[in-house]
């Protein structure tokens, strides 16, 4: 006897829920490196740098400490600049989904023609494809201006944000100590 109207599924609902749960956990872990916005925009922590060396040191420290926040800021500025270019916005959203599935949310190495692909290659290919696809939408000026504005906003914030109240982890502290030692040895 045939059962009309029944749909056979190859994957169980629990497997789909497990994938969604893993995806949420990986997104939370990725965004877990984000620092609190209150700390980033604490107006009491803003002040003029003592000079060019102090500004450069602040930019290095703040860039290491707030790197995820700065990436979110630049992406938000880019997203807002594309609101007047719907095709570019669609391409941007599609490429963000591709990034999520091919780079951020996968548990296993990407395999192409039976060979595993290194994450650095995936990163480079996705970055190039994103830029190329966005430039093909003829919003080149908007994209470049948005990236320039994002870079200026990040550098200005990093230069004027004091670093006295930041508690760095060992990895960043070692990186910044060696950068600071290199900068002080040249004086």
How do residues 62-105 score in pLDDT, each as one tens digit?
888 887 788 788 888 988 988 888 999 899 889 888 887 887 77
C-beta neighbour count of 117 within 10 angstroms: 14
pTM above 0.75, yes or no: no
Residue owning tokens 């004091």: 162
Q: Work out the mean pLDDT of the chain and round it to a whole number.
A: 77
Cα–Cα distance measured from residue 44 to residue 24, given in angstroms and rounded to the nearest whole number = 34
Instruction: Map out the domains of the chain as residue ranges.
Output: 44-160
Cα–Cα distance measured from residue 185 to residue 187, given in angstroms and rounded to the nearest whole number = 5
Q: Please enumerate, as own/partner, the contacts of 144-151 that have beta carbons within 8 Å and a separation of 24 or more.
A: 145/81, 146/77, 146/78, 146/80, 146/81, 146/82, 147/74, 147/78, 149/77, 149/81, 150/73, 150/74, 150/77, 150/78, 151/74
CB 33 within 8 A of CB 70: no
Burial class (CB within 10 angstroms; exposed 0-12, middle 13-18, buried 19+) of 161: buried
How do residues 94-133 score in pLDDT, each as one tens digit?
988 888 788 777 778 888 898 998 877 887 888 789 888 9
């Amino acid at each position: 006897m045939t059962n009309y109207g029944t749909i056979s599924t190859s994957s169980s609902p629990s497997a789909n829920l497990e994938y969604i749960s893993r995806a949420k956990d990986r997104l939370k872990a990725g965004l877990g490196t984000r620092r609190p916005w209150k700390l980033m925009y604490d107006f009491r922590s803003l002040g003029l740098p003592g000079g060019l060396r102090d500004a450069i040191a602040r930019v290095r420290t703040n860039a290491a400490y707030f790197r995820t926040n700065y990436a979110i800021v630049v992406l938000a500025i880019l997203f807002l600049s594309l609101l007047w270019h719907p095709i570019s916005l669609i391409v941007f959203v599609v490429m963000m989904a591709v990034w999520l599935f091919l780079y951020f949310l996968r548990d296993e190495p990407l395999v192409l023609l039976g060979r595993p692909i290194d994450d650095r290659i995936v990163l480079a290919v996705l970055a190039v494809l994103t830029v190329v696809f966005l430039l093909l939408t003829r919003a080149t000026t908007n994209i470049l201006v948005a990236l320039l504005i994002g870079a200026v906003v990040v550098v200005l914030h990093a230069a004027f944000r004091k670093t006295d109240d930041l508690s760095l982890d060992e990895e960043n502290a070692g990186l910044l100590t060696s950068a600071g030692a290199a900068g002080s040895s040249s004086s």
